[in-house]
């Protein structure tokens, strides 16, 4: 579903991703962990080309996304993304946030988009909030709206960039719950997070990144209980 | 009431030597001048807004070669006095196009080109002030750059542009007084004519100041109303 080959990314002279190769299968939930500055967010952002790719290839369902002939907007409709800072549109209501892209990009009718949006709002437990503005929502509610907004495009893959890092601790659970449900429904997910409990419980595979490389990848059970590399052991000893 | 006001004015005129009688004769001209001031200002605001938006978007182009002319234009206009600009346009630019000088045309063109540079900066700053996560979120949903600009960035940026745009419009109304030197028959033109005819200073210039103040003050009240209304639009 996603195939990354020898991906490199540099910002000026700073080499953030050195040589990343990984394959992600349909319905797989891959959790990416690692210290700050390890390149895990940059890696995620390369998967929908929010960061340009310096070298190497990223294939989404066989399509090379960095190819000049590829319509990246088309690819992005199939790859939803949830951000650490939510990035809801503050000048639009919750409902308008969700229906904007389906109407503009997929040319859905308003009725069609609203119907889908209400269904998704119900799913994330915010059916009664459709007419409020993001400003009046809590962080956890904002992030659930952001997830609904991404799902409205009916993506095949969902990318989560530290979705709970900007939340107050008591709101982390409600967001993780929505993500767990999504995983159970068979969504292909790539999740950058510091929530080791989530990685352990929901992840099919955990990737540990450091210094722009994938140091180790394994099932959560193996990686957490039996890490092979010193770097992984050191990191886990600090966060677990 | 009118009698009372009349006697009040008369008593001021007697005690200060203020010649209301001379001003009364000039009132139709000041009125006409005020309409000219409003007219050229409105024209200049309209043209300045359109040019300013285009120049502002030009400044934001990623290609440095393409954005350079727009940045250079803004730097030139902001770095030279309006007084000089208006003389260049009146005696240099307008004759090239019209074959002869034309004060009103020169006034409108000079004010438009001048305010366009400032408005471009307001647009540029307004767009750049929007968190880049907004563009990323819109693009991540598959929207094109243009769609994201239209539906997500510009509506938010526009709201932030209103206070500085209001300042710019007020500045523009005041700067329009300089078009008097190329014989645009606006407020200051008639004030100077009055001064020339009667050798009196206070009557024409004080009246001119009062008229300008009424214009700019009214505008600032209108703008603050608009600002408040847009601010409350967000939170229903």
Q: Does A77 reach chain B within 8 Å, measured CB to CB?
A: yes
Q: Given an 8 Å threshold on Cβ–Cβ distance, is B155 in contact with A91?
A: yes
Q: Given an 8 Å threshold on Cβ–Cβ distance, is B147 in contact with A90?
A: no
What pLDDT score was predicted for residue B178? 96
Packed helices B154-175 and B103-128: angle between N→C axes, nearest 10 degrees? 150
- Please report residues of B whose CB lies closer than 8 A to that of A131: 236
- Tokens 């526009």 label which residue? B158
| Residues A109, A115, A121: CA angle, nearest 5 degrees | 130
- Confidence class for position B47, pLDDT limits 50, 70, 90: very high
In whole angstroms, give the CA distance from residue B150 to residue B197.
55
Measured in angstroms, the CA of A50 and the nearest CA of chain B are apart by: 7
Per-residue pLDDT at A66 exceeds 70: yes
Residues in chain A: 240
Per-residue pLDDT at A239 exceeds 90: no
What pLDDT score was predicted for residue B233? 59
Question: Model confidence over B146-202: pLDDT tens digits?
Answer: 999 999 999 999 889 999 999 999 999 999 999 999 999 999 999 999 999 999 999
Measured in angstroms, the CA of B64 and the nearest CA of chain A are apart by: 17
- Please report residues of A whose CB lies closer than 8 A to that of B143: 73, 100-101, 104-105
Per-residue pLDDT at B99 exceeds 80: yes
What pLDDT score was predicted for residue B13? 75
Mean pLDDT for the stretch of residues B49-53? 95
What pLDDT score was predicted for residue B107? 96
- Confidence class for position B232, pLDDT limits 50, 70, 90: low
Question: Model confidence over A100-139: pLDDT tens digits?
Answer: 999 999 999 999 999 999 999 999 999 999 999 999 999 9
Residue B186: φ, ψ to 5°: -100, -165
Q: Given an 8 Å threshold on Cβ–Cβ distance, is B143 in contact with A48?
A: no
Per-residue pLDDT at B234 exceeds 60: no
Q: Which of A76, A93, A131 sits opposite B141 (nearest CB)?
A: A76
Pairing between β-strand A188-192 and β-strand A205-210 as defined by DSSP bridges: unpaired
Strand order in the sheet with A188-192: A79-82, A157-161, A188-192, A29-33, A205-210, A213-218
Mean pLDDT for the stretch of residues B30-37? 96
Measured in angstroms, the CA of B141 and the nearest CA of chain A are apart by: 6
- Please report residues of A whose CB lies closer than 8 A to that of B144: 73
Q: Given an 8 Å threshold on Cβ–Cβ distance, is A73 in contact with B142?
A: yes
Per-residue pLDDT at B59 exceeds 50: yes
Task: State whether the Cα torsion A209-A215-A217-A222 is positive or negative.
Answer: negative
Q: Does A50 reach chain B within 8 Å, measured CB to CB?
A: yes
- Please report residues of A whose CB lies closer than 8 A to that of B156: 89-91
Per-residue pLDDT at B102 exceeds 50: yes
Mean pLDDT for the stretch of residues A157-161? 97
Dihedral, CA atoms, B109, B110, B116, B122, nearest 10 degrees? -150
- Confidence class for position B8, pLDDT limits 50, 70, 90: confident
What pLDDT score was predicted for residue B236? 40
- Please report residues of A whose CB lies closer than 8 A to that of B158: none
* ipTM for the assembly: 0.93
Domain covering B34-235 in this structure, CATH number: 1.10.3720.10
Q: Which of B131, B147, B235 sits opposite A133 (nearest CB)?
A: B235
- Please report residues of B whose CB lies closer than 8 A to that of A149: 141
Q: Is B187 exposed, middle or buried (0-12, 13-18, 19+ CB in 10 A)?
A: buried
- Tokens 């090379």 label which residue? A64
Q: Given an 8 Å threshold on Cβ–Cβ distance, is B142 in contact with A133?
A: no
Question: Model confidence over A3-54: pLDDT tens digits?
Answer: 999 999 999 999 999 999 999 999 999 999 999 989 999 999 999 999 999 9
Per-residue pLDDT at B38 exceeds 80: yes
The candidate with the shortest Cα–Cα distance to A209, out of A2, A10, A21, A14, is A21
Residue partners of A64: CB distance under 8 A and separation at least 6: A57, A58, A70
Q: Given an 8 Å threshold on Cβ–Cβ distance, is A91 in contact with B236?
A: no
Q: Given an 8 Å threshold on Cβ–Cβ distance, is B133 in contact with A87?
A: yes
What pLDDT score was predicted for residue B235? 47
pTM: 0.83
Rounded to the nearest integer, the mean pLDDT of chain B is 92
What pLDDT score was predicted for residue B4? 79
Per-residue pLDDT at B87 exceeds 90: yes
User: From the CA atom positions of chain A, what is the Rg in Å?
Assistant: 18
Q: Which of B134, B139, B140 sits opposite A89 (nearest CB)?
A: B134
Mean pLDDT for the stretch of residues B127-140? 96
Q: CB–CB of A95/A117 below 8 Å?
A: yes
Which residues are A218's β-sheet partners? Answer: A206
């Amino acid at each position: 579903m996603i195939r990354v080959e020898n991906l490199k990314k540099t910002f000026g002279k700073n080499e953030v991703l050195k040589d990343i190769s990984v394959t992600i299968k349909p319905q797989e939930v891959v959790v990416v962990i690692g210290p700050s500055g390890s390149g895990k967010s940059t890696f995620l952002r390369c998967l929908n080309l929010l960061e340009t790719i310096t070298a190497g290839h990223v294939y989404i369902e066989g399509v090379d996304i960095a190819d000049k002939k590829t319509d990246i907007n088309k690819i992005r409709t199939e790859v939803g993304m949830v951000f650490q800072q939510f990035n809801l549109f503050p000048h639009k209501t919750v409902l308008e946030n969700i229906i904007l892209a389906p109407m503009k990009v997929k040319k859905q009718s308003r009725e069609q988009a609203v119907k889908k949006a209400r269904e998704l709002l119900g799913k994330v437990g915010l059916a009664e909030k459709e007419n409020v503005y993001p400003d009046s929502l809590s962080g956890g509610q904002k992030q659930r709206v952001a997830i609904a907004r991404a799902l409205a495009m009916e993506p095949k893959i969902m990318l989560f960039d530290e979705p709970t890092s900007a939340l107050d601790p008591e709101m982390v659970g409600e967001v993780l719950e929505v993500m767990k449900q999504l995983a159970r429904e068979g969504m292909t997910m790539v999740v950058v997070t510091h929530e080791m409990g989530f990685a352990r419980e929901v992840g099919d595979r955990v990737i540990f990144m450091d210094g722009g490389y994938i140091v180790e990848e394994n099932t959560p059970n193996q990686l957490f209980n039996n890490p092979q590399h010193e770097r992984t052991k050191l990191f886990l000893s600090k966060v677990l | 009431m009118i009698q009372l006001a009349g006697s009040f004015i008369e008593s001021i005129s007697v005690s200060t030597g203020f010649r209301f009688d001379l001003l009364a004769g000039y009132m139709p001209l000041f009125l006409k001048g005020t309409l000219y001031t409003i007219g050229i200002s409105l024209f200049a605001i309209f043209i300045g807004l359109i040019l300013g938006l285009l120049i502002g978007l030009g400044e934001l182009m990623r290609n440095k070669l393409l954005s350079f002319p727009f940045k250079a234009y803004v730097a030139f206009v902001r770095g030279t006095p309006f007084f000089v600009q208006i003389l260049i346009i009146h005696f240099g630019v307008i004759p090239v196009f019209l074959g002869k000088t034309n004060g009103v045309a020169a006034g409108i063109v000079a004010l438009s080109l001048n305010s366009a540079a400032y408005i471009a900066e307001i647009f540029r700053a307004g767009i750049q002030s929007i968190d880049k996560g907004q563009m990323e979120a819109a693009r991540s949903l598959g929207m094109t750059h243009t769609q994201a600009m239209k539906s997500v960035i510009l509506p938010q940026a526009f709201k932030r542009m209103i206070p500085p745009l209001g300042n710019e419009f007020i500045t523009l109304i005041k700067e329009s007084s300089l078009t008097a030197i190329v014989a645009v028959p606006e407020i200051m033109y008639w004030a100077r004519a009055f001064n020339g005819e009667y050798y009196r200073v206070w009557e024409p210039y004080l009246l001119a100041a009062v008229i300008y103040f009424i214009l700019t003050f009214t505008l600032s009240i209108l703008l603050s109303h608009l600002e408040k209304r847009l601010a409350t639009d967000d939170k229903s």
